[in-house]
Structure formats: C-alpha cells, structure tokens
Structure 1
Amino acid sequence: MLLSAHTIAFSSIPQRKVIHSRSHWTEVETTRLIRGSSNLRFITRSVSKEGNTSVESDVPFPIDYIDLLKQAKKATELALKDGKQLMEIEFPTAGLESVPGDGEGGNEMTDSMQLIREFCDILVTPEKARQTRIFFPEANEVKFARQVFEGAPFKLDYLTKPSFFEDFGFSEKVKMADRVKPDDELFLVGYPYFNVNEMIVVEELYEEAVVNTTRKLIIFNGELDRIRTGYYPSFFYPKLAALTKTLLPMMETIYYIHNFKGRNGGTLFRCYPGPWRVLRKVGNKYFCVHQQETMPSLKEVALDILPAA
C-alpha cells in the first residue's frame, strides 16, 4: 500500500523558512506555517438540485491547514483506489480565505514546499517513500528543499535548470526520461507556474513516464487556472494553451479551493469524489449555494452563480 495512517504532528517551535526569488534564497526566522482559527467550527450544508432540501455535507470546508491536509490525503487515497493517474491539488497558501495575489510569490512557493513535506509525510508509507519522487520547478530549489525535507527518504528532483537568460523566461530543458528511475511509483510536482516552460515539462513527464505504466502523478498548487482561463495568450504561448486540449482533460482535480472576494464573494470547493460546490460564508459557517458534478469556470462562478445565490 502506498498510503499511511500516520497522524500529523505540527510543532509550534519557530522553523527555518526561506524567502526566495528563484535566483537566491534568504533565510529568516518564522513561526510554523500552519494557519487558521482552530476555535472556529465551519459547517457546510449542501442544497439539493430541487433547491428545497438542505443536508449536511460529508466533507465540510477545512477549519485550518491541518484539517485541509487530512482532507487532501483522504481524497488522494480514494482517487488512487479508483485508478486515477493524473491528479491536481490546488488551494491558497496565504490563508484559507485568501485569493491569488494576497501573498507574495516567493512566500507562497516556500509555503507550498513545506506543505508538500507535511502532505507526503502523512500520505506515503515509509516503505514506499523511496519510490516517491518530488519534482520542484528548478534545480536551485532542490538545494533548499533538502533542508525542508531533512531526514525524509523521498527523492527530490527538478524540472528545469537555470540559464543565463533566466530573466527572459528561458531555462535549460531537462529530459524527463533521464530523470526517473524504474522503481519510481509516485511523482509529485510542486508549484510549476513561475516559468511558462515548467508545465510543458510536466506534460513531458506525464507522457514519457506515466502513460502506459502504473505510476501516478500529482500536481500540487500548479495554478492551472491560469491556463484554463487563458491568462497566457495562445498566440504567444501556443504550447501552453494546447494543454487545455491535451493534458488538462486527462486530469482529475481531487482537492480544490478558490476564493472570490467582493460583495458577491464565496468559495469554489471540491474534495474527491464529491461534487463541485460553491460555498458562501455566513458568520462562522459555510453554506452550499450551488453544486454540480463537473468543474464550473471561474467566470461562471463569479458572474452567474454567486450573484444569483
């Protein structure tokens, strides 16, 4: 079995944290990453399609990051049991109610790295740890990751190497077939969104090392909504835009949180194998105002679903 039944042990002792800008790392003292108000109890209620019956949902919105990781672990276990090979986990790291842009980019990447460590610790059994390869966007980040993952037997790897033209968006391509080993069983790719080439390399990893094998691949906080929403113009980034027709349709989003702020604010939430739900917070409780089996577009949630709720 790949999965473990470990419990999560989070320390309140200050940890070493690195704020980075891809080209350098700076160490600062910080308190433990895990945030959230543990004294708040969130209750999620879902509304039936007829709109006249409310029932308590099996998976409520997480109360903090400890709860979130437990939910993501369970969703991953169920997806693996169902034979899913390509999976996505996406949630904000600047706070459970934060939106993209609330946190500084380097901090968000560092937070994701630490959360990946905690997630893998509770997901992967010790005997399977050496068959788990964790990819970070570039080689420089693996150097710091070895500190974050100190004592863990996971294999740490990278998608790209920095080049002289890195500031212009260029990096040295790494051939994925040369990076993996025959005994690898699970790949986890952390936040491949800073450089547009990173997700293209992820597609190569999937095609060369996952397809037609029993291996699994999880993309962790890859900000794939940038690709889904056309943030990168297809005229300038044709290979990246093509992922909406090649890689993304093959993917199962197993855990997802996206917040919307403003007068019609709310949250798009999914925990596999449950439906996609649009939540609205009233006081300290979350209520479901809409649910469906397929992922709605962010535009649909913001302009149609939430204003009508």
Structure 2
Amino acid sequence: MRLGVTFAAVAAVALSTAALAASFDYALKPQKVADGVYTLIGKTENFSRENGGNIVNTGFIVGDDGVIVIDAGPSKAYGEQQRAAIAKLTAKPVVQVLLTHAHPDHVLGLQAYAGLPVATLTATTAALTQSGDALLGNLYRLVGDAMLGTEIRLPNAVAADGAVTIAGRKLRLIAGSGHTDGDLMVFDVATKTLFAGDLVFFQRSPTTPNADIPTWLATLDSIDALDFAMLIPGHGGVLRDHAGIAQTRDYLQWLRDSLQGAARRGLDMPEVLQLPLPERFRPLAALKTEYERSVSHLYPAYELDTLPTVPRSKPP
C-alpha cells in the first residue's frame, strides 16, 4: 500500500514538473536582419527566474533545402520554442545546428534538436564533456523552473574552419578563441552577416569566466578585418558597424590594465572590488556584477604574475 502511494506521489510530481516547464513562455520573436537570416534577441540582464535564462542572442538561416540554427538557447523549453518559432516562418526542416561556444545559455536547448547534426569546435565539445553537468546545475540554481526537464546533450560533429555549403547556403565557419578556448563564428556569404557569438558584446558587460584576454583581443582584431555588413553579437543589439567590436575591446583592455595595475600596487581583492568603474562603461548592462565576477576569477593570476621568481638551487 505504501509503495502504491509513493508511485502516485512521484507521478504527480512528474506531471507537475512537466506542466511548470511547459508553462514558461520565452515569447520568442524572430527578427529578420537580412534575406533568409533571422535572430532572436535576448535580454542584456543577468540570469534570473523571471527571464528564464533568456539573456542570449540565437539565430537561424533559411537555405534552399533547410534551416541552419545557430545556438540553441539556455533550456529545453527555449529550444522547443525556438524550433516552433522557426516552423511558423518556414516549412523547411532544420537540417543543422551550429554552436558558437560552451556557455550554458547557448547550448542547453539541444534536446529540441535530437537526431540532427550538431557541430561545433573540438574545444567546445571538450569543455561540455568536462563541465557540462556543472554548467547545467548552476543554471538550474539561477533560473529555476524554466530549466525543468533540461539535460546535457553533446555535439555530434566537428565544425571545421573554412567554407561550407549547408542546405544550399554558402557559409564561412571561422574558428576563434579568447572568450573561451573555442569560439565559432558563422558568416553568411550571401548577406555578409556575421554571427560573432560571445566574442562581441554590445551595451552589455562582457563575461570572462573562461577568458584569455590577450587572445580575445587578438581575435577582435581579426573580426575587425572582416568584410561584414551585419554583425550579431552574443549579447546586445544587431550591429551594422564595428561599434560592438570597439566597445568590447575597450572594456577588455581597461579590465586587463586595471587588474594588472592593482596587482602591481599590491591591492588585495576586496580593495580591487572597491575601485571606481570608468564613467564610459556605466551604460553597460550588468556592469557591477560582471566586474565583480571578473575580479574573482582573473585577479589571482595577475597577483601571481607580480610575485618574484625564486631561483632554483643548483644541485650539489
């Protein structure tokens, strides 16, 4: 008898969980930015239960024979609603998913694309293999019910740097790094539209949990040299110029110089957290939060760089 009651309770919880996940509405509205090219613009705030983790830009390209999706969003529910939004615009099937990098707001919607080719850089697959469960758990903690039912799904194909034709659409896949160890960009040749992923932020403070700032700055220089007509950043509004590249570069250079200078002056972390932030960055969303996060995971390395090198003793 007790066993029957337990099964009934579990079933009730399962049904309640499914209903909660299904009830979160991301209100996704694809924005057409060029011929056959669409983006879904997320908020520029921090993760919250209110936004369901929708702080990311995703997109899709409609080719002759199908649809290419670029990033799957932060949850199973997002991925399903993203796919439904695509189906409202075209009867062509989704034939390919491309992931820009391993951060959870870009990849956790993959369950909606089961059975399809999902390609990304090898470094991204490695990061998800190693840290995917931790990323998933953290987003559950931050976002809550919108994540219900979400599980890790790994990419099943490698995206190689260079020209490729998918669904009759000519693309250029560009391998970069700096924001993470693997940052894939997708360039649509016909419209000169660049999906830059989180290598470019606009009007939103860059996130740096896996950043290598010198490498990131070098990658920004290479993006600056590209002949694009439209740039879709990982966070922030669609751009028709290089303003997002310049803003991201300016912030990263200031962050590097500020932390290096603080370490050389011998400041401890609480003191660094109290340093004034430049007035020009005040309009950036999530500035205080992202600065504090950057200090917490970047500053120890800058402090270490200031320590004197202890010479090795010669063997007797």
TM-score w.r.t. length of structure 1: 0.30
Judging by fraction of residues, say which structure has more strand. Answer: 1
Judging by fraction of residues, say which structure has more helix. Answer: 2
Q: Between the two structures, name the one with larger relative contact order (CA 8 Å, sep ≥ 6).
A: 1
User: Whose Rg is larger?
Assistant: 2
